[in-house]
Amino acid sequence: AMFETLTDKLQRSFKSLRGQGTLTDENINDALRDIRVALLEADVNLTVARDLIEQVRAKAIGASVATALNPSEQIVKIVSDELLNVLGRDTAKFKFASQPPTVILMAGLQGSGKTTSSGKLATWLKKGGHRPLLVSVDVYRPAAREQLKVVAQSVGAAIYEGAYDAATDNNTAAVLRLAKAAYKEARNFAHDILIVDTAGRLGIDEALMDEMAALKKELNPSEILFVADAMTGQDAVNSAKAFNDRLQITGAILTKMDGDSRGGAALSIRQITGAPIKFLGTGEKPDAFEPFHPDRIVGRILGMGDIATLLERAEEKLDKSKATAFAQKALMGDGFTLDDFREQLRQIKKLGSIQSIMKMMPSVGPFAGMQQAASQVDEKQFGRVEAIINSMTQKERLNSAIINGSRRKRIAKGAGVEVAEVNRLLKQHDQMAKMFKTMGSGGGKMQQRLMSQ
C-alpha cells in the first residue's frame, strides 16, 4: 500500500523517542538518522531528503521544552510541518481557461499511464459537471489512438478521432492539424474541456520535446500535466525535470501509487520542478484517481490515517438511499434482520478491502492497534458470511427466530460450511440486533425530546 514501508520506518524512529523526557542533541540525532534512512529507502531524492532533515534538525534543537508534547510527538509535529513545506501546503487548484474550451496537455513517457490518466481525468471532470472531449495526437502509434478510444468508451467520454491516414500522417504537422481540429470540435460542440493525450517515447528525446513545445504553442493549454510512474522513483523525477525545463509543466499526476512503489517520487517532484502534484493514480480502474491533498498525504505518511478521504469514498460509493433507509429502520427499532446484515456487509465491501480501509485509519494515538487487528481480519470470512445468508430463505432472513436445528443444517450445507459457523453468525446477528434495538429506543426518545422543545 501507499507509503507503507516509509510509514512503518518513520513510526519506528518516532517510537524510539517515546521513552525520553526531553529532546536532546543525542536523541534528536538518533531519530534523524533513522528518518533519513527511511526517506532514502522510500526513494526520496537525496537533496530533498537532506534539506528536510536539516530543517527538522534546526527546529528540533530549538524546540521549546515547555510544551505539553512529549519528544516523540514534538518530532512528529516538526516532520509533519516540514513534509508540508516540501509538498506544498494547499491542494493545488485545477486551472480553467477564461474562454472555454480549457485545454489540458498530457505529457510523459510511454507506459507512465498517460492514456489511463486521460480517461481518469475525464471521469473526474464529468463527475464535476464538465463535458470533456478526448483526443490522442499520437500519430506514430495507431494502437495508442485505439487505446484512448477504448478508454473513452469505457468511461462514457466523448472522443475526437478526426480524419487521419496512418500511412502519411505520421509527422508533427499531422499532430498539430489533429490538435487544431479537435479544439474546433470541442468549441463547436460545447465541450468545455479538451484533454490531449500526446505521444510518449521510451526516453526523453529532442524530437518529442520539440513536438510538445509546438503543441503548447498551438493550443495554449491551461494545464500541462506531467504523468509520472511512481514505481520508477528517481527516473520519474528526472524526466519531470526534463519536461519542466522545456515546457514549464503546471502539475504532475503520479500514477501507480497503489503498487508496492516506495512513493518517494511524490516527495521530490514538487521540490525539484516547482510544479505541484495534482492527482494520484491508485489503480487501473477509471475511478482509481484522487486529487492530491498534501495534508492528507502527510497524515498517511505519518500513520495518522486519512479519514477525510475515507469519508469521501464512502459518500461516493455507498448507496445513500439504502443507508438512510437502514438508519431509519434501525433507529425506529424495526429490527435488524439478516437481510440488513447482508446489505451492510455488501456496503462495507464496496469501500475496498478491510485492510485498505484500516490503512486510512490512524495507526497512532487511540487507534493504535486497529490496523494490527485489521491485518488479522480474514477477508474470506466476509464471503462466507454472505454465502450463509444467501443460502437462507427470505422468510428466514426476515425472521431469524424460525431458524431451528434442521434449518441450520440445511443452511450450512447450502453454504458449504459447518453448522457451528451458522450458529456463530446467528448469535452475532442477534447481538447486533439487540444493540440496534437499544440505540433505536434511545433514538426514539431523543426524537421525542427534540420535538417537544
Kindly tell me which residue out of 9, 114, 191, 270 binds ligand GDP, with binding defined by CB under 6 A: 114
Residue 255 interacting with ligand GDP (CB under 6 A)? yes
Residue 255, marked binder: yes
Residue number, 185 or 229, with CB nearest to ligand GDP: 229
Closest distance to ligand GDP from the beta carbon of 167 (Å)? 23
Residue span binding ligand GDP (CB under 6 A) among the ranges 106-114, 208-216, 237-245, 442-450:
106-114
Give whole-number Cα distances, 449 to 132, 436, 443, 445, 453, in Å.
50, 19, 10, 6, 6
Q: What would the grid cell of residue 58 be?
A: 534546526
Residue number, 232 or 255, with CB nearest to ligand GDP: 255
Residue 232 interacting with ligand GDP (CB under 6 A)? no
Residue number, 45 or 116, with CB nearest to ligand GDP: 116
Residue span binding ligand GDP (CB under 6 A) among the ranges 51-59, 111-119, 158-166, 304-312:
111-119
Residue number, 111 or 156, with CB nearest to ligand GDP: 111
Residue 281 interacting with ligand GDP (CB under 6 A)? yes
Kindly tell me which residue out of 198, 282, 337, 363 binds ligand GDP, with binding defined by CB under 6 A: 282
Closest distance to ligand GDP from the beta carbon of 116 (Å)? 3
Residue span binding ligand GDP (CB under 6 A) among the ranges 13-21, 202-210, 212-220, 253-261:
253-261
Closest distance to ligand GDP from the beta carbon of 111 (Å)? 5
Tell me the helices (H) and strands (E) count for the chain, helix number first.
20, 8
**Region 196-215 residues binding ligand GDP, contact defined as CB under 6 A:** 200
Q: Which residue in the shown chain puts its C-beta closest to ligand GDP?
A: 281
Cell 510544479 belongs to 275
Kindly tell me which residue out of 102, 116, 268, 337 binds ligand GDP, with binding defined by CB under 6 A: 116
Q: At what angle do helices 405-415 and 379-390 cross, to 10 degrees?
A: 120
**Distance separating the N- and C-terminal Cα atoms of the chain:** 50
What is the spatial distance between Cα 227 and Cα 281, in angstroms, rounded to a whole number?
10
Question: Which residues have C-beta within 8 Å of that of residue 275, sequence separation ≥ 6?
Answer: 226, 240, 244, 249, 250, 251, 252, 269
Closest distance to ligand GDP from the beta carbon of 227 (Å)? 6
Q: What would the grid cell of residue 328 be?
A: 431509519
Question: Which residues have C-beta within 8 Å of that of residue 439, sequence separation ≥ 6?
Answer: 330, 331
Give the CA dihedral 289, 295, 297, 301, nearest 10 degrees: -170
CA 384 to chain CA centroid, nearest Å: 28
Residue 177 interacting with ligand GDP (CB under 6 A)? no
Nearest Cα to 261, choosing from 233, 280, 302? 233
Residue 362 interacting with ligand GDP (CB under 6 A)? no
CA 322 to chain CA centroid, nearest Å: 25
Kindly tell me which residue out of 11, 45, 115, 123 binds ligand GDP, with binding defined by CB under 6 A: 115
Kindly tell me which residue out of 51, 169, 235, 258 binds ligand GDP, with binding defined by CB under 6 A: 258
Residue 43, marked binder: no
Residue 108, marked binder: yes
Cell 529532442 belongs to 206
Residue number, 5 or 110, with CB nearest to ligand GDP: 110
Nearest Cα to 106, choosing from 142, 128, 132, 137? 137
Residue 112, marked binder: yes
Kindly tell me which residue out of 112, 239, 250, 371 binds ligand GDP, with binding defined by CB under 6 A: 112
- Indicate the helix (H) or strand (E) that contains 157: none
Kindly tell me which residue out of 283, 291, 414, 443 binds ligand GDP, with binding defined by CB under 6 A: 283
Kindly tell me which residue out of 71, 101, 108, 221 binds ligand GDP, with binding defined by CB under 6 A: 108
What is the spatial distance between Cα 106 and Cα 331, in angstroms, rounded to a whole number?
50
Q: Which residues of 245-277 are buried (b: 16+ CB within 10 A; e: fewer)?
A: ebbebbbbbbbbbbeebbbbbbbbbbbbbebbb
Number of residues that bind ligand GDP (CB under 6 A): 18
Closest distance to ligand GDP from the beta carbon of 247 (Å)? 16
Closest distance to ligand GDP from the beta carbon of 367 (Å)? 27
Of how many residues is the chain composed? 453
Kindly tell me which residue out of 256, 262, 300, 313 binds ligand GDP, with binding defined by CB under 6 A: 256
Residue span binding ligand GDP (CB under 6 A) among the ranges 59-67, 104-112, 349-357, 411-419:
104-112
Residue 263 interacting with ligand GDP (CB under 6 A)? no
CB 175 within 8 A of CB 189: no
Residue 442, marked binder: no
Provide the 10 A C-beta neighbour count for residue 432.
15
Supply the DSSP symbol for 219.
H
Residues of this chain that bind ligand GDP (CB under 6 A): 108, 110-116, 200, 255-256, 258-259, 281-284, 288
Q: Which residues belong to the annotated binding site for GTP?
A: 108-115, 197-201, 255-258
